[in-house]
Structure 1
């Protein structure tokens, strides 16, 4: 990056690639402004050019920071696998291959758990990219160094042949901390001797043909291993999916049973209230009938009372006239 001080950029990248993805842009802008205010325009430009990591890359960077010991164990397993591949130890390769699958699956689950504790749930697609990165780190020592550095900008993948493509995948250059040679390019003493002899014309066409056959067998074995690994990975995923689906089905069955119980209880309560409503309705009709009869009795009693009142008035009038006549006659006799 021209005159940019690498150490300064590394320190800033170390800080930036530790923040959550949603805070990265703001943190990068703040870091750029600090460097610019300090008068280092070249470094400020380099900081501004640091790419925002994908979610999968951030999870891998988080894993490298939170679980460095487990990442180191992963990379040590990759070194053992490369040594076994160089020695063509099929039995050791199979055993280490099984161990690799177990370690990668366990570390991928740990990465999801670490991200969850940081407040970020990891989707299945992102989890697949994290697992792909872990497998790439096992296969290629440079990819392992990039993972350990914790400054990935995107997930890594390994095609099965050649080195892992790291172009644009790491924010700043990382230096390998191991001098372990890559068995894909390493030449064993026997191969080195054969190569030297070939250069001198000591090995003929038969030796070259044997090397080609050996290389073809090695590539075929590697392809077979990768196919078997993919099959095991897919089988493991299918089993996980089946277990998850079985759990969902069990939950659904339990929900059906609970709903059935609630339905039976609700139906019982409905019948109970309907019976009570019927009883109350019958009581209401009987009360209304009795009220009607009582109203008729009141009307009849009022009629009789009114007739009695009229008779009483009439009798009182006759009494008064009789009393008056008796008084007149008494006065006349006097």
Structure 2
């Protein structure tokens, strides 16, 4: 059953609904009602989600390396390891670029080339896999139905953190001017603390706004995916109805041809019936005349 679902989610979206119906019908015919229900409940993936699923199945080694890079990158980011972030971020950019190109190539080979917008969704999904453990688990399952979005608090292009602590050099320490008087130092600290508080508040507001925007984007993408599914199902029903109409028209043409042949045969049979009826009538007259002649000749002999 799991293998059947895995295969279903690497089926191109344009063929997904028909394949889902066929597979569910086969499971039901085989007496596996629960399996048929699970298959029937499978949601059609967007083109970007399908490409990401296809990439995972077709490139297992590269996909495994991407999944292994994610925890290391997240650990470096949260520990403010500037050197580690820079090194891992370079690997991340190279891997995301290479894997998105491979996904596009796989999709093209399957007959469904990706637009620029869809390729951006694929890259967004790969970045989300690196940034978010839940996104990584979802992609590793191989059954995405929509593109993934990285969390808003994880930078899109990671660089060494500006606020990471550094040890001042000896020369810089010697060049540092004498500390201000205690009262001036206290006032300066208060002003710095206030500025930091204001910046932190602004940053928190920006994070909240970014998270809300990301949620709205995810909701819109989910709505678009649902609309795409509805459109595809409507198109499938239209195609089925068109096929049924074509079959009915073919049967009607065949029935009309059969009717035409039957009418011709009926006319020929009627003509034959009239001909044979005339022949029977002539034979009956000849038989009566012959009988009268026999009777006449018999009377003369007496």
Give the TM-score normalised by structure 1.
0.45
Q: Bigger relative contact order, structure 1 or 2, given CA contacts below 8 A and separation 6+? A: 2
Larger Cα Rg: Structure 1 or Structure 2? 1
